[in-house]
Amino acid sequence: MRSVSFFYSAAVLALTVSTLGQSTNSNVTVTRNDFPATKTGSDVPAKVKESVPSLMLNSVSLSAPSAVGGNIVQGRVTMNAPAPFDVEVSLAVDPPSGAKAPSSVTIKAGETSAAFTVTTPVSKMVAGGADNLVSIYGNYGVTKHTDLTILAPVSFDRMVDRVIQREHAFVENVKRLHPLAETYIQNMQEDKEHNVVPTGDQYFLGRLDLSQTTAEQVFEKDKPGKAHHFLSPFAMLGNAFSRRYVPQGFANMVVMDRDLKKENYYFNFVRQEFLGEIRCIVVDVQPREHAPNGLFAGRMWVEDKDFNVVRFNGTYTNGSNYDSYLHFDSWRANMQPGTWLPSYVYSEESERKRSRPPFRMSRFKAQTRLWDYDEVHIKHQTELVDVRVDNAEDHDEAMRPQAVPVEAERMWEKLAEDNTTDHLQNIGLLALPGPVDMILQTVVNNLVITNKLDITPEVRCRVLLTTPIESFTIGHTIVISRGLLDVLPDEGALAMILSHELAHIALGHKIDTKLAFTDRFFFPDPDTFQRMNFERTLLDEQAADAKALELLNNSPYKDTLATAGLFLKQVQERASVLPNLIRPHLGNPLGSKTAVRLAPVAGAAPQLEKTVDQIAALSLGARINLDPWSNRIEMMSPKHVALLSSAEKMPLEVTPFFPYLTRLPSGNLVGYAEQTTVQHCHSGSCRTMQNEQSN
């Protein structure tokens, strides 16, 4: 496109023509009509020189002048005019290791600019260090650049301030939530071969309430109509001792310090390390000499983005004359953007020494799991969210006939079944439907198809979220506990468990249809195990065993039952020392010291051996991963690890937690740094250094 400018004087007529992208000379003729005010009487020939500005880079800019290492900054290159065609602008970073940017960026025809991304490297130091200046260069016709400051991480001192700030916010946040908390304890003892084995167990399930006190009601089976309080899950570790643990309850094991104060502790930097995908600052925490009793002493892991504590490990300082504090390892999970909440606590005492008289400390291991945080949302998962009322029309001829008696009976039983599963899901005991159910459904379908069963309504599978190993049926729904899924060694053992429950359905063993009336569920949550019971009679259990053997013999699993039999033998062997693990909440026991379900399968299995290549049962927590916020579960594939000795098999045993931590997506950037003077104190001595502080 050309623009022409005319300049007239008495002596000279000159024209300037500007075009984009080229420069040429042109001959034109200017007529008198073009300049009526001129005195010349004829047309004027003129030579025109077209002056052309070149297309070139005008600027390189960034969305932010600075960023903490590990963050992303958006850049933009801008031309001096719209591109007549696709234009490629070259990019470079100086120094090359300071940041990453593409080698070029393309500006589309007709556009004046294009965006690109600059990725800053993760700092090798989470706390401390110095700022780095990086230049981003662009070239098209000319070279332009802009500077980016890679900020040092926050100072250690300022980081501690942020941790304390976040812990106070955490305490206030967790007071509003009332998750289910389950604690399972195994007393341990060293045998003659120096293997540490279980000798007894205890179990607690209740809702946690940190708003006022650590006390909370517990779900119990044997004491109907009486409310019990979750004062201390460790107050009943067995006859070995019966002391009052301080602080009461396990609530302090999910809260490091209800009122964390800087003046009460020494904070010493240890190192930085990854927990899963989360880079953490590891800090030793030690109470000061004149701090109050009962404070936390141990180590904490702080994630490097918002400075939330994601793990703490240790005990509480003594406030009495006895060794009454337990050691624990407490983990939190990122359940909402920026929100980390308690998910797992592992507790252990393994010292052989006797405590001060008159008490004796028992060796034990304990797992605490927390879930059902989003209880309000979970209760509405199956509710109607969109109601549409169509115009009423008369369809007498197409009207469905009334259900015949058999159909009506099945519909009534299905109503009782749905009422029950909905209630168990609403109070957090049943996992939301998901992929684990489909895995169970596949095994059930294999049994149904190979045995040519015709079952209406179809069989469904659900997972009970508690640890005690059990399975039962609610109408045509097979329920299997998380704990049982954890410890089953293989698919053949799973098929054995499911075949027994499928046999109950195939034999027509009914649900109690009193549950079709919703008022039957109008009772407090802790009364669930007293008000709901899905145990079968001995005759029904024997019939189901016989039918299950028939189903298994006609199935693809008939040649894989040796391990299933070993599993039953392992359950029977440990039934006397782990009664609370074997004892079901809602169904029939899987086994006892004198009897076991599907005894012919157990009888056909080889003898239990202590060799490393015979795995009869897995440890608790081996297969199922539970999302504590949504109550959704997924099946994990146990990683193969070569065992060094039979002691590492640990069948049906409690083991420590080591979850793989991840961070939910969030657009927040780490704050910028500023110079400050920091004191690092180690065991009472302090040193002063220059460092960076985050605003």
254-263 residue pLDDT tens: 999 989 999 9
Residues 184, 162, single domain; the answer is: yes
Answer yes or no: is 40 within a domain: yes
Query: Comparing C-alpha atoms, which of 628, 519, 619 is closest to residue 570?
Result: 619
Residues 353, 244, single domain; the answer is: yes
Mean pLDDT of 59-70: 89
How far the first Cα of the chain sits from its last, in Å, is 53
**Statement: residue 483 has pLDDT above 60:** yes
Answer yes or no: is 659 within a domain: no
Mean pLDDT of 409-436: 95
Given 129, 151, 173, the domain boundary residue is 151
Mean pLDDT of 144-169: 89
Answer yes or no: is 672 within a domain: no
Residue 420 pLDDT level (bands cut at 50, 70, 90): very high
**Statement: residue 620 has pLDDT above 60:** yes
Residue 667 pLDDT level (bands cut at 50, 70, 90): very low
Answer yes or no: is 203 within a domain: yes
Q: Which helix (H) or strand (E) holds 436?
A: helix 435-450
Residues 585, 438, single domain; the answer is: yes
The pLDDT score that the predictor gives to residue 71 is: 85
- Three-class SS state of 675: strand
Alpha carbons 459 and 470: distance in angstroms, whole number: 18
Residues 323, 223, single domain; the answer is: yes
- Mean pLDDT rounded to a whole number for the chain: 81
The pLDDT score that the predictor gives to residue 570 is: 95
- Three-class SS state of 424: helix
DSSP per position, 209-259: --SS-S--BB--SSSTT---B-S-TTTTS-TT-----SSSSSGGGT-S-TT
The pLDDT score that the predictor gives to residue 45 is: 59
Residues 35, 100, single domain; the answer is: no
Q: Where does 349-428 have alpha helices with state H?
A: 375-379, 405-426
The pLDDT score that the predictor gives to residue 688 is: 32
Q: How many domains is the chain built from?
A: 4
Alpha carbons 566 and 493: distance in angstroms, whole number: 9
Residues 297, 444, single domain; the answer is: no
Alpha carbons 39 and 268: distance in angstroms, whole number: 94
**Is the model more confident about 418 or about 530?**
418
**Statement: residue 600 has pLDDT above 90:** yes
The pLDDT score that the predictor gives to residue 74 is: 94
**Percentage above 90 pLDDT, the chain:** 56
Residues 422, 569, single domain; the answer is: yes
- pLDDT tens string 461-471: 999 999 999 99
Given 101, 127, 151, the domain boundary residue is 151
DSSP per position, 508-549: TPPP-GGGGSGGGG-S-GGGHHHH---PPPHHHHHHHHHHHH
The residue behind tokens 């502790």 is: 265
Residues 220, 105, single domain; the answer is: no
**Statement: residue 104 has pLDDT above 70:** yes
**Least confident segment among 28-32, 499-503, 635-639:** 28-32
- Three-class SS state of 408: helix
**Is the model more confident about 592 or about 4?**
592
Q: Are 427 and 529 in contact (CB under 8 A)?
A: no
The pLDDT score that the predictor gives to residue 250 is: 60
The DSSP 8-state label assigned to residue 292 in this structure reads P
Residues 177, 273, single domain; the answer is: yes
Answer yes or no: is 664 within a domain: no
The pLDDT score that the predictor gives to residue 685 is: 36
Residues 527, 426, single domain; the answer is: yes
Alpha carbons 533 and 519: distance in angstroms, whole number: 16
The pLDDT score that the predictor gives to residue 305 is: 84
**Statement: residue 241 has pLDDT above 50:** no
Residues 591, 610, single domain; the answer is: yes
- Dihedral pair phi/psi, residue 16, rounded to 5°: -120, 125
Answer yes or no: is 306 within a domain: yes
Strand positions, DSSP E, 309-411: 309-316, 327-336, 339-349, 363-371
**Least confident segment among 12-21, 82-91, 612-621:** 12-21
**Least confident segment among 79-88, 101-110, 152-161, 518-527:** 152-161
- pLDDT tens string 522-552: 998 888 988 999 999 999 999 999 999 999 9
Given 349, 371, 393, the domain boundary residue is 371
Residues 443, 570, single domain; the answer is: yes
- pLDDT tens string 333-368: 999 888 999 999 999 987 655 454 444 557 889 999
- Dihedral pair phi/psi, residue 391, rounded to 5°: -60, 135
Residue 442: give the domain boundaries.
406-648
Query: Comparing C-alpha atoms, which of 480, 492, 623 is closest to residue 560?
Result: 492
Answer yes or no: is 538 within a domain: yes
Residue 693 pLDDT level (bands cut at 50, 70, 90): very low
Answer yes or no: is 676 within a domain: no
Query: Comparing C-alpha atoms, which of 227, 183, 235 is closest to residue 208?
Result: 183
The pLDDT score that the predictor gives to residue 39 is: 54
